[in-house]
Amino acid sequence: MAVERKSVSFTFWLILLAIALLSVLPFLWIILGSLKPHLEIQRGQLWPWQSYTAQKPAGPGQPPREVSQHVTADNYRRIFQKLSGLPTYYFNTFYLSAAGTFLALFVGTLAAYGFAQFKFAGSRLLFMLLLLTIMIPGEVTLIGRYELMFQLRLYDKIVGLLISYVAGSLLLVIFIMRNVFASISQDITDAAMLDGASSWKIFWEVMVPMGGNGLAACGILTFLNIWNEFLFALTFTSMDKVRTLPVGIFMLKGQFGLFNSGVLFATVLLSFLPIVLVFILLQKYFVRGLSMGALKG
């Protein structure tokens, strides 16, 4: 039996290792590709030990000399030289992600608390209707949102994107936090009420601290979703000053004339590096939020 258990455990870990390698492979491909010229990527020579011949300026009036290189930082230099709007894209994306996450958590948590603690006629039906709207793809509402943006004069404005992102993130926050609050014992809130605490005080001083891990999980998911959102940002903006990072990456072809794999890889790496760092720093809170029942019905 012991040998059989060890065999099953070894097989299980092998499967997990294979899944982990498959998950890491695209990131490794992007990192290696960002350090190679476009032609070398097309030839499949991505590994650092594979050298290539590059043309380097030798001096005024002298022909360029050929040197052997393994990696290059030219792709990153070209990004900062030609993509003048990159700092603006970064700022817009970070602002929308941070502000959208804060507003979605604030409003969504209040609504979730109401659904979890206050039972009124039709509350369960209303919650089920909200869950049904999660199943509707965002693309279905794209034309309606586009018309609404024009009617409210929010097209090409950061605040328009912010409102759209907050509205799109509320349902997920309500769904998760309602289940988190519902898992907290009613005896705790009853004891707080006997001590004279109001509903508002119970929410801020009891429910929010106890649901902190669920809030962290919601915050990470919302931040990542807004950071990576592309379709609405492309549809609702046309000026550089309000564009986000995913749209800026999409515009690379227009900036460089031709498709350049190395520059694209470098830009993608710069775009997802911040969110990877955020996830690494907050990973334990995210896992706790899920393990405490944040995604359980």
Q: How far is CA 254 from CA 42, 181, 204, in A?
A: 20, 49, 49
| Helix, strand, or coil (residue 294) | helix
Q: What was the pLDDT predicted at 257?
A: 53
Q: What was the pLDDT predicted at 259?
A: 65
- Report domain extents, the chain: 2-72, 78-294
- CB neighbourhood size of 278 (10 A): 16
Q: What was the pLDDT predicted at 267?
A: 84
Residue 297: pLDDT band with limits 50, 70, 90 = very low
Q: What was the pLDDT predicted at 109?
A: 93
Decide which of 72 and 49 is more confident.
72
Fold classified for 78-294: MetI-like fold (1.10.3720)
DSSP string, 49-114: T--EEEEE--STTSPPEEEEES---HHHHHHHHH-TTHHHHHHHHHHHHHHHHHHHHHHHHHHHHH
Query: How many angstroms from the chain centroid is the CA of residue 130?
Result: 23
Element of type H or E holding 56: strand 52-56
Q: How far is CA 168 from CA 173, 223, 225, 247, in A?
A: 10, 12, 10, 19
Residue 176: pLDDT band with limits 50, 70, 90 = confident
Decide which of 208 and 279 is more confident.
208
Q: Is the pLDDT of residue 131 over 90?
A: no
Taken in order 174, 177, 180, 186, the sign of the CA dihedral is: negative
Least reliable range by pLDDT among 34-48, 105-119, 257-271: 34-48
Q: What was the pLDDT predicted at 295?
A: 47
Query: What mean pLDDT, rounded, does the chain reach?
Result: 80
- Give the tokens for residue 189: 């809130």
Q: Is the pLDDT of residue 246 over 80?
A: yes
Q: Is the pLDDT of residue 67 over 80?
A: no
- Give the tokens for residue 248: 């800026």
Query: How many angstroms from the chain centroid is the CA of residue 94?
Result: 11
Q: How far apart are CA 107 and CA 172, in angstroms?
A: 12
Q: Is the pLDDT of residue 52 over 90?
A: no
- What is the percent of the chain with per-residue pLDDT over 70, rounded to a whole number? 81
Average pLDDT over residues 133-162: 87
Residue 65: pLDDT band with limits 50, 70, 90 = low
Residue 291 DSSP one-character state:
I
Q: What was the pLDDT predicted at 95?
A: 94
Residue 294: pLDDT band with limits 50, 70, 90 = very low
Query: How many angstroms from the chain centroid is the CA of residue 65?
Result: 44
Q: What was the pLDDT predicted at 39?
A: 73
Most confident of 63-67, 68-72, 258-262: 258-262
Q: How far apart are CA 141 and CA 47, in angstroms?
A: 44
Prediction pTM value = 0.80
Residue 114's nearest CA partner among 182, 197, 59 is 182
Q: Is the pLDDT of residue 93 over 90?
A: yes
Q: What was the pLDDT predicted at 96?
A: 96
